[in-house]
Amino acid sequence: MSFKTRIKELRARYDLTQDDLAKKVGVRRETILYLEKGKYNPSLILAHEIAKALKTTIDDLFIFD
């Protein structure tokens, strides 16, 4: 199953860099980069933390094909 994310779009809305978001959720910047490119499947906990940091829901953040 592949997926797309709205992480980059929502990061821009809140003027956050990949590094800013990574620090908020406790991961490395590269993890955010891979998530944005759809090359990394996050754990449910990480998906929840990112959604919370970006003030959205997991369903709104990740689009599954």
* pLDDT over 80 (residue 65): no
CB 64 within 8 A of CB 6: no
Q: What is the pTM of this model?
A: 0.90
Measure the CA–CA gap between 57 and 11, rounded to whole angstroms: 14
pLDDT digits (tens, 9 = 90+) for 45-57: 999 999 999 999 9
pLDDT digits (tens, 9 = 90+) for 3-50: 789 999 999 999 999 999 999 999 999 999 999 998 888 999 999 999
Q: Which domains are seen in the chain, by residue range?
A: 3-55 (1.10.260.40)
Measure the CA–CA gap between 3 and 13, rounded to whole angstroms: 21
